[in-house]
Amino acid sequence: MSGGSFFQRDRNWHPAAYTPGYKTSVTRSPQKAPISLDNTVSEMTGPVFGHDLIGETDNDLLRNFAHGGEPIGQRIIVHGRVLDETGRGVPGALLEFWQANAGGRYRHKKETYLAPLDPNFGGCGRTLTDADGSYRLRTIKPGAYPWPNGVNDWRPAHIHFSVFGHGFAQRLITQMYFEGDPLIWRCPIVATIPDRAAVERLIAPLDMNNAVPMDSRAYRFDIVLRGRRSTLFENRTEGN
Amino acid sequence: MMAQPLAYLKESPSQTAGPYVHIGCTPNYSGIEGVYAEDLGARMVDAETQGERIRIVGRVFDGVGTALKDALVEIWQADAQGLYPGPSETRGTADPHFSGFGRSPGDMTTGEFVFETIKPGKVPFKDGRPQAPHVTVWIVARGINLGLHTRMYFGDEEAANAADPVLARIEHRARVQTLIAPRTQEGDVPTYRFDIHLQGENETIFFDI
């Protein structure tokens, strides 16, 4: 858990900043190389959140915005573990997630898609990982939705995840996709990731073993954060 | 040549936060009320927080000079004594009335982000030399595939900035000023204006940390 600086990020595994197939990236991508900075205490520390932050229904999107009814859609459980690159679970990691409703409509002032809002579905939730890094949430499966990139581009069904590990250098936002969705391989945002094997890390398999019979299916989604060096042999003489 | 397998996992690849990041990260701001009592990172200080009260404001500009209306900016900083809140701080215990973490969605019409905070103390570099007071900044938005890390330094800390080990290693000296926020007085508290330019002539320095 504690230790030194985080493993270097593999920027050939992550999407590049400039990915013209995703049009908005064209004017929002830095053109100059980032300056490499071995972590100082400013990057090795980060906010850690306590269980007092989390309400009873924060990880249950079937209930946390219910206004006298149940949201319409396919009831699912999403569960998994947050690990670091050494394979150890990351306890106490804050996960925040957000998504569209079953018809692909987001509850947001700037969203204008004609599919209707669901009066019992907000679309946000959060949780903290357990001692072994595991987490669980309950929701409805989001729908695909169209977006103004190409004239006929549709996002695959997805859930956004924001993750806080133990250091600010581990901060990560990503998206979870669903096994078997044919839109995944047509999506310009998915295609910002250069390596097919990396895309596959974001596709959650159907997990019937964790389904609740006559209630909800389940998907398994593990998230990997940057690993961390040991400080055992760090003499702190580097610098310039 | 064969060797033992080196069994590290790969980090989950990043994806853009998208235009609706506020649903998940600042739901009250985006109009989803009643789920959380308040948005995470909305309040960094209380009446008993030690240190000089300041305000950090700014906007995020794209490569054609348009302010982003859909960025989410997060900051992480030390307390007035230079200690970070939380269990990974090994040098002492930070001010219990200071969160160190702020999150601002930016105004929906102007794009301006605002943090009500305190001026941080100095924290050490790896070799023990003091770093100039700074705030770590992380920016996500539609069109940004991997969150961008930068730092904000304080315009009224000229001597400390000149001695800062991170600023000292920046080869293109003309770019250093993109990290330094001038101190102004806008209203009731000292204000540091930190505009971020994602691309182009005045491009902000971003770090691979």
Dump pLDDT digits (tens) for B30-54. 999 999 999 999 999 999 999 999 9
Residue in A22, A43, A202 nearest the CB of B136: A43
**Quick check: A202 pLDDT over 80?**
yes
Q: Tell me what pLDDT residue A234 has.
A: 55
**Amino acid (one-letter) located at A128:** L
* Beta carbons of B130 and B116 less than 8 angstroms apart: no
For the stretch A207-233, pLDDT in tens is: 999 999 999 999 999 999 999 988 755
String of DSSP letters for A160-225: EEEEE-SSGGG-EEEEEEETT-TTGGG-TTGGGS--HHHHHTTEEPB-GGG-BTTTBEEEE--EEE
Q: Tell me what pLDDT residue A240 has.
A: 30
Question: Cα(A222)–Cα(A238) distance, rounded to whole angstroms?
Answer: 35
Q: Average pLDDT in the A87-95 region?
A: 97
* Beta carbons of A83 and A226 less than 8 angstroms apart: no
**Quick check: A2 pLDDT over 80?**
no
Q: How confident is the model at residue B83 (pLDDT cuts 50, 70, 90)?
A: very high
**Amino acid (one-letter) located at A226:** R
Residues of B with CB below 8 A from A223's CB?
Answer: 12
**Quick check: A3 pLDDT over 80?**
no
User: Would the CB atoms of B126 and A40 count as touching at under 8 Å?
Assistant: yes
Q: Average pLDDT in the A90-104 region?
A: 98
Q: How confident is the model at residue A237 (pLDDT cuts 50, 70, 90)?
A: very low
* Chain A residue closest in CA terms to B172: A35
Q: How confident is the model at residue A1 (pLDDT cuts 50, 70, 90)?
A: very low
Query: Which CATH code is given to the segment(s) A55-228?
Result: 2.60.130.10
* Chain A residue closest in CA terms to B63: A27
| Disruptive mutation site among B20, B72, B115 for chain A (greatest number of A CBs within 10 Å) | B20
User: Would the CB atoms of B15 and A193 count as touching at under 8 Å?
Assistant: yes
What are the structure tokens assigned to A230, written together? 């040991």
Q: pTM for the complete prediction?
A: 0.96
**Quick check: A238 pLDDT over 50?**
no
Q: Average pLDDT in the A160-172 region?
A: 97
**What homologous superfamily does CATH list for B21-197?**
Aromatic compound dioxygenase (2.60.130.10)
Q: Average pLDDT in the B99-127 region?
A: 96
Domain chopping of chain A, boundaries: 55-228
User: Would the CB atoms of A192 and B145 count as touching at under 8 Å?
Assistant: yes
Question: Cα(A234)–Cα(A213) distance, rounded to whole angstroms?
Answer: 53
User: Would the CB atoms of A42 and B84 count as touching at under 8 Å?
Assistant: yes
* Residue A196 CB contacts under 8 Å (≥ 6 apart), including other chains: none
Q: Average pLDDT in the A73-101 region?
A: 98
Q: Tell me what pLDDT residue A233 has.
A: 57
User: What 3-state DSSP class applies to B32?
Assistant: coil
**Quick check: A69 pLDDT over 60?**
yes
Q: How many CB atoms neighbour CB B96 within 10 A? A: 11
User: What 3-state DSSP class applies to B175?
Assistant: helix
| Disruptive mutation site among B6, B15, B21, B202 for chain A (greatest number of A CBs within 10 Å) | B15
Q: Which residues of A carry out catalysis?
A: 106, 145, 155, 158, 160
How many CB pairs below 8 Å do chains A and B form together? 278
